[in-house]
Amino acid sequence: MAINVPWVTLRGCDKPMPVIGLGTSSYPPADHATTKAAILEAIKLGYRHFDTAFAYGSERAVGAAIAEALRLGLVASRHELFVTTKLWATFADPGQIVAACKMSLQNLGLEYVDMYLIHLPVRLTEQIRAVPVAAEVVKSLDVEGAWGAMEECKKLGLTRGIGVSNFSSKMIEHLVAIATIPPALNQVEMNTGWQQKQLRDTCEAKGVHVTAYSPLGANNTKWGDARILRSQLLAAIAQAKGRTPAQVGLRWIYEQKVSMVVKSFNGERMKENLGIFDWCLDGGDLEKIRLQIPQRKAVTLASIFGPHPLILELDRELTN
Ligand SMILES: NC(=O)c1ccc[n+]([C@@H]2O[C@H](COP(=O)([O-])OP(=O)(O)OC[C@H]3O[C@@H](n4cnc5c(N)ncnc54)[C@H](OP(=O)(O)O)[C@@H]3O)[C@@H](O)[C@H]2O)c1
């Protein structure tokens, strides 16, 4: 039977969002058929939120899976699903953003997405052909201009909500101060091994919801590792609760009032990751997780673009 996932209300977004979404960025990139089949399986299990991005190359597979799910009657209407996609850095010039959103909608075969995010606080003047990218290609983001264009996407009905990803506390404070439509959420790396307390406090104070990406530490990817899934502390808590370390890690995120996008294309693990809503962690467990797990950020902009001065400066800001 499909599991019912709680939904969270977001400021400035016309629709609530399921607190667990299925991530669709896979490493190495999965082919179209594999991604589509995983999403269909996820819908059968109860996932209603799908996290994609122009940069992941998974928008077409997400769209194809949604069309198939509707055809098969797995969901009664598009409105039952929540689709997030993201503006890639090469389209982050204000004049290109509405067109980039329309391009993502075309890839998805949808009339609107539920959440459109600025993927990164940086702009590139051309597509990445090799890493590191040439230094002159990397530019700082015109936040006012870009956000104005994001607001336009919402006003045109291309998206139900708008937000950001990989923004620091300072960037969130600046954005909230200049926004007419406030950012609904900030999607950032967060897990028991990178707890983001300060950023979460800033976002809460500014009314910006936080969504955790790489909630299990992105095991088996170029940037992540198994330190969460193999944590002795999480394993001990899991054993005492009759759960798995992955479920303890995801439940901890949920108890911080943070939503998450978790990637698994394996049916058993997808189901396991939904099993976090009918039990809770003890106060002592929460305290041990807070104090005893070594903290390290896995995703850096330098690993994506190269060690350019602007990129290193952004990484420093995002790691503080
Ligand atoms: N906004 C951004 O800049 C950004 C950056 C990174 C990621 N994201 C989004 O966040 C999503 C999730 O992050 P992520 O993919 O980096 O990492 P993640 O969800 O923390 O971990 C995914 C890895 O864990 C494995 N896994 C999943 N559930 C498991 C379980 N219960 N037990 C053991 N292994 C399990 C998966 O393998 P199997 O598939 O084999 O189960 C996969 O190798 C992405 O897919 C993407 O949508 C966003």
What's the rounded Cα separation, in Å, for the pair 153 and 102? 9
Ligand 1 atom closest to 86 (CA):
1
Cβ(262) – ligand 1 distance below 6 Å: yes
The mean predicted confidence, pLDDT, of the chain is 96
Identify the pLDDT of residue 63. Answer: 98
pLDDT of residue 1 exceeding 80, the answer is no
Q: Cis omega (within 30 of 0) on the bond before 309?
A: no
- In tens, the pLDDT along 165-203 reads 999 999 999 999 999 999 999 999 999 999 999 999 999
- Going through 75-184 in order, the beta strands assigned E by DSSP cover 82-87, 115-118, 122-124, 138-140, 162-165
* Contact 192 CB / ligand 1 (< 6 Å): no
- Angstrom distance (rounded) from CA 320 to CA 309: 17
* pLDDT score for 132: 86
Q: Is residue 1 part of a domain?
A: no
Residue 210 resides in a domain: yes
Overall average pLDDT of the 1-18 stretch: 92
Let me know: does 59 contact 107? Beta carbons within 8 Å: yes
Nearest CA to ligand 1 atom 48: 213
Total count of domains within the chain: 1
Catalytic residue from among 27, 47, 56, 116? 56
8 A C-beta contact, residue 171 and residue 199: no
The pLDDT > 70 percentage for the chain reads 100
Q: 237, exposed or middle or buried, with CB in 10 Å at 0-12, 13-18, 19+?
A: buried
Residue keyed to tokens 């006012």: 144
Nearest CA to 273 among 241, 251, 240, 290?
251
Average pLDDT of the residues in 282-288: 97
Q: What is the model's pLDDT at position 106?
A: 98
Share of the chain above pLDDT 90, in %: 92
Locate tokens 């950020």: which residue? 297
Asked if residue 12 lies in contact with residue 243, where contact means CB atoms within 8 angstroms, the answer is no
Mean per-residue pLDDT, 285-306? 94
In angstroms, what is the span from residue 169 Cα to ligand 1's centroid? 24
Quote the domain boundaries for residue 218: 7-319
- pTM equals 0.98
* Predicted confidence band of residue 131 (pLDDT cuts 50, 70, 90): confident
Q: For residue range 217-244, what is the model confidence (pLDDT) as tens digits?
A: 999 888 899 999 999 999 999 999 999 9
The 10s digit of each residue's pLDDT in 42-101 is 999 999 999 999 999 999 999 999 999 999 999 999 999 999 999 999 999 999 999 999
Across 80-104, b (16+ Cβ under 10 Å) vs e yields ebbbbbbbbbbbbbbebbbebbeeb
Does residue 3 surpass a pLDDT of 90? no
Asked whether residue 270 is domain-assigned, the answer is yes
Note whether residue 137 is domain-resident.
yes
Say if ligand 1 is within 6 A of residue 203 CB.
no
CA dihedral 139, 145, 151, 156 (to 10 degrees): -100
Question: Can you tell me which residue has the tokens 């104070």?
Answer: 205
The confidence score (pLDDT) of residue 194 equals 97
Whether residue 62 contacts residue 303, with contact meaning beta carbons closer than 8 Å, is answered with: no
pLDDT at 318 (0 to 100): 94
Q: What is the CATH number of the domain that holds 295?
A: 3.20.20.100
Asked if residue 122 belongs to a domain, the reply is yes
Predicted local confidence at residue 135, as pLDDT: 87
Q: Give the model's confidence band at 129: pLDDT under 50 very low, under 70 low, under 90 confident, else very high.
A: confident
Is 107 close to ligand 1, i.e. is its CB under 6 Å away? no
56 is catalytic: yes
In a domain, 2, yes or no: no
